[in-house]
Structure 1
Amino acid sequence: MSATDLAAPDEVEAIDLGKIGQSLGFLLRLSQVEVFGMFYRALSCYEMKPGEFSILYVIHLNPGVRQGALAKRLMVKRAQMTKLIRHYERRGLVARTIPEDNRRTVHLHLTDEGTRFVSENDRAFLGYIHQETDRLTPSEAAELTRLLRKFIGLEGTP
């Protein structure tokens, strides 16, 4: 569902948002609704929610990543990350290993099937990213991305 699906276009224009229309949180939430709507329209055939491919992709880029570190970096609650990883295990996409020297740590790797899934589908998921900013000029999109990365503490990281 996009933000504009919530009301007819003429109704959207007629609604005064007052100061809340300047709220970063409010605008980010409406932006999230809009981007998720785009995601589902473009990628629903993959039966994944927004963010799920991201977890697989980041594991692909960081084989052996600690599950807790991944949850922290992606701002996913630890319990939710555990649930997602178990789901990926059942699908045969992710394998967990627990080192003998630290039984509290869980390392994540893609299985052969997981590697194949990421390799075969990364173009669709990563190509979709460009649709998120198609209403902006390239410089506007770069500036928005830069500001959001700064806001969430990713400035200066790959």
Structure 2
Amino acid sequence: MSSGGLQQEIKKKLPFDSLEQEANLNILRTNDQMQNRFGRFFRTYDLTPSQYNVLRILRGEGKPMPSLEIGERMIQVVPAITGLIDRLEKRGLVCRRRCEEDRRVVYVDITPDAKKLLKRIDKPLMALHKQLCGTLTQPELKELSRLMEKIRAGLNTM
């Protein structure tokens, strides 16, 4: 889309007040559309994106993790990590156990059923990632990631 694409897309009559406003609204609009696509994708596996994220973190770690640490590693901040883990546990995708040394700490582990589910998801999810960013070249993808990281670094100093 050419410059001014968002303005036309949302049928905004007047120009944006600033380039910053236009950039932020572009990020928000793109995020909304991507969230919708990821949400639909994960629904076909009876998961939410946040539930998938928990399972992805546990598989990547390869050992039980404290629930609070899982929460810190999430792509999207989830205010109720306990409820999220409750739902996964009810489905038999994670199991919990209390730490013997500190009863306040709860360890969460991924189950074999969850690993099988993730294995089914891996290839179709990679295809979705490629589809969603398929209009960008490899250098553009690297630049996009660099710019998003730069924005987040600035947010962390506020």
Give the TM-score normalised by structure 1: 0.76
Match of 2:98 in 1: 98
The total of aligned residue pairs comes to: 144
Match of 1:6 in 2: none
Residues 65 and 25 of structure 1, relative CA distance in 2, 3 Å threshold: farther
Q: How much does 1:109 deviate?
A: 0.9
Q: How much does 1:99 deviate?
A: 1.1
**2:68 equivalent to 1:68:** yes
Q: How much does 1:11 deviate?
A: 5.8
Q: How much does 1:150 deviate?
A: 4.2
Distance 2:38 2:56 in 1: 16
Give the TM-score normalised by structure 2: 0.76
Deviation string, structure 1 residues 15-54 (Cα, Å, up to 9, x no partner)? 2351266335433221211112332454542232333312
Query: 3-state SS of the aligned residue for 2:136?
Result: coil
Query: 3-state SS of the aligned residue for 2:99?
Result: coil
- If asked which structure has higher relative contact order (CA below 8 Å, sep 6+), I would say 1
Residues 40 and 69 of structure 1, relative CA distance in 2, 3 Å threshold: closer
Structure 2 unaligned segments of length 5 or more: list them: 1-5, 154-158
CA RMSD for the aligned pairs? 2.6
Deviation string, structure 1 residues 45-103 (Cα, Å, up to 9, x no partner)? 2232333312211111112122101112225245x211110000001001112111011
Match of 1:110 in 2: 110
Residues 139 and 51 of structure 1, relative CA distance in 2, 3 Å threshold: farther
Structure 1 unaligned segments of length 5 or more: list them: 1-8, 154-158
